[in-house]
Amino acid sequence: MSSRRKFIRNVSLTAASAALIPSITKADKKRRVEQLLAEGGIVLSTWKHGLNANVKAVEILNNGGRPVDAAQQGVMVVESDPTNTSVGLAGYPDRDGHVTLDACLMDEFGNAGSVTFLEGIEHPVSVARLVMDKTPHVMLSGEGALQFALLNGFTQRKGLSPQAKQAYAEWLKTSSYKPTGEAKDHDTIGLILRDSRGNFSGACTTSGLAFKMHGRVGDSPIIGAGLFVDSEVGTATATGVGEAVIKICGSHLIVELMRLGISPQRACEEAVKRISIKQKNYKDIQVGFLALNKAGEVGAFSIQPGFQYALAKEGKNDLMDAASLLTVGKN
């Protein structure tokens, strides 16, 4: 067993044994964890950083936490990573030098919260959570989202990380902008999950495409584009060039295809195919989708090769390679 796998198991068991539920014994708790793992809590997230996010989400699920708490806290790990240049405050800025953040989440009942074009807040997904829990709205944007965050105790931290500052200075030399969704430009985290009772939730958070126009919002905070959850069917999330995803309502499309009985894998392939039919530039961009259905089947597919995702299932947490429409060399 790899040390990472051991780590996942240990995290799960330690976290579960720390849970303060007075009515059950230690042995009961251990059985419950094993049962949860065996019965199929599944966590799936985009890119390599998903491995760390999954560990946190599994810990929350194994503690008996709500799916939406697991999704939120999972992606928060990546939002706080000072080395991540596409999620959170260390992300690359837009063309005016501002880091602007997009995030959303959906819970097991179909409730949704979202923030877009938010500056200087470490955990945009947590602001999205408050939009969902405390307001009659789904989405807050820009200055309004910031005021809402500040009123609710969040603090603002502006400025670029050293790495972002350097990349921005380099970009300014040419100021040329051609979004490709290549891994070097992005790696949004979309995390989707099913708990052992078959309830779904998901969260998606990003600083968006590097050097985008000021004010640009991508797919990640758009319910139905970057993320969609319906506990009757399953869930899907997206990464890559958001404009391409928004134009086909990617995640919603995948969930609706699964509702018709199509497997998560085929549904992801259909969504990518839809982009390739409708959008002339598809060979020049990357988009990747992940999906999960009621039966615990997983789907992953992208336009270009190289899309990786983290899959936590049955006590393991592995980095997987998604299949793609194009092969190396853009056929």
Question: Which residues does the annotation mark as catalytic?
Answer: 188
120 or 218: CB nearest ligand SD4: 218
By the rule CB under 6 A, 279 interacts with ligand SD4: no
Q: Does 105 bind ligand SD4 (CB under 6 A)?
A: no
Q: Does 50 bind ligand SD4 (CB under 6 A)?
A: no
Stretch that binds ligand SD4, among 2-10, 214-222, 257-265, 291-299 (CB under 6 A): 214-222
In the complex, least distance from residue 293 CB atom to ligand SD4, rounded to whole angstroms: 22
CB nearer ligand SD4, residue 163 or residue 263 = 163
Question: By CB under 6 A, is residue 188 in contact with ligand SD4?
Answer: yes
- Using rule CB under 6 A, residue 187 touches ligand SD4: yes
Asked whether position 91 contacts ligand SD4 by CB under 6 A, the answer is no
Which residue of 220, 231, 235, 324 would you call a contact of ligand SD4, by CB under 6 A? 220
CA 250 to chain centre: 14
When asked if residue 239 is in the footprint of ligand SD4 (CB under 6 A), the reply is yes
Decide: is 242 part of the binding site for ligand SD4 (CB under 6 A): yes
Instruction: Choose the stretch contacting ligand SD4; rule: CB under 6 A; options: 157-165, 216-224, 266-274, 294-302.
Output: 216-224
Based on CB atoms, which residue is closest to ligand SD4, 13 or 167? 167
